[in-house]
Amino acid sequence: MKRILLFLATNLAILLVVSVVFNVVIAATGIDAQGSVGLLVFCALFGFGGAFVSLWISRWMALRSTGARVIEQPQNQSEEWLLRMVQQQTKKAGIPMPQVAVYQSPEPNAFATGRSKNASLIAVSTGLLQNMNADEVEAVLAHEVSHIANGDMVTLTLIQGVINTFVMFFARIIASALMRGGNQRGGGFAYYGVVMLLEVVFGVLASTIVMWFSRQREFRADAGSADLVGKQKMIAALRRLQQGKESQLDGTMLAFGISGKRSTMSKLFMSHPPLDERIHALEQRR
């Protein structure tokens, strides 16, 4: 219930802020909100606004949704080693030290999030620390460090913003045409019903683009880990993950986790490439 209320409150806040910004922009620029340009501005504000607000609060949301504890003062040798390893890897990658956290979960997993390289977070599960050896954990950490170094969080947010914008825009343009010119503002329940249906359909289709970028990003992070700690360690970590259970991470954290959900769905909708493909790509790397 707490997570549901947090999700609803966050999205209502996003809608309120973007609505205010939209009205301010329209008033300041004199753009015709009924025309195509005004509609595109409206869709861009909501599309990018929602994506960037989610990015801005991603670290805060991740900590609360997983119950992760940021390591301020290490409580044991494992946490001391964890901080030292991340510090070494971030120094080698040339990025600032992120927050490091541990969350309770039996599955071996980790994720990176944050609005920028200067405000990032790497969280690892207790299952990862308990079920992987030091070399494998080191490789997983390097994978997450590579996500941050590559700027993957911002890149995916920009892609999602573009997708959101055009999904909203074309849904409204096509709905208006289907309703024989009914205007966007006052087309009634039928118009908005068609808009919602088209947004769902276009959103599902457009998600294949986002997922393609997500899979390419995973290959890059694997390669980054291989550069930081050696490809054999990363291959060993991926093989260990093949023995694990389905990831329990949600949303953005799933996309930036070391392991994605196993699914019978089409590869087009997978955020992570199959582990076999990731291992093969590393084995072919020189």
User: What was the pLDDT predicted at 23?
Assistant: 58
Q: How do residues 201-229 score in pLDDT, each as one tens digit? A: 998 898 899 899 999 999 999 999 999 99
User: What was the pLDDT predicted at 261?
Assistant: 54
Between the ranges 2-6, 11-15, 43-47, 230-234, where is the mean pLDDT highest?
Answer: 230-234
273 has a pLDDT exceeding 70? yes
Q: How do residues 102-151 score in pLDDT, each as one tens digit? A: 999 998 999 999 999 999 999 999 999 999 999 999 999 999 999 999 99
Give the DSSP letter string of 132-163.
S-HHHHHHHHHHHHHHHHTTHHHHHHHHHHHH
Mean predicted confidence (pLDDT) in 28-46: 72
Annotated binding site: 143, 147, 218
Residue 46: band (very low, low, confident or very high) from pLDDT cuts 50, 70, 90: confident
User: What was the pLDDT predicted at 264?
Assistant: 47
User: What was the pLDDT predicted at 192?
Assistant: 79
Q: Which of 107, 136, 138, 144 is catalytic?
A: 144
11 has a pLDDT exceeding 70? no
CA distance 31 to 27: 8
User: What was the pLDDT predicted at 177?
Assistant: 84
CA distance 273 to 25: 41
For the chain, count helices (H), then strands (E): 11, 4
41 has a pLDDT exceeding 60? yes
Q: Is 138 a catalytic residue?
A: no
C-alpha distances out from residue 5 to 8, 104, 141, 230, Å:
5, 22, 32, 43
Element (H, E) at 255: helix 251-255
Whole-model pTM?
0.79
Lowest mean pLDDT among 43-52, 64-73, 179-188, 233-242: 179-188
User: What was the pLDDT predicted at 28?
Assistant: 63
Annotated binding site for Zn(2+): 143, 147, 218
Q: Which two tokens stand for residue 237?
A: 């970590």
Between residues 108 and 19, the one the model is more confident about = 108
Between residues 262 and 279, the one the model is more confident about = 279
Lowest mean pLDDT among 4-8, 161-165, 202-206: 4-8
Find all residues with CB under 8 Å of 64, minimum gap 6, and list them. Answer: 6
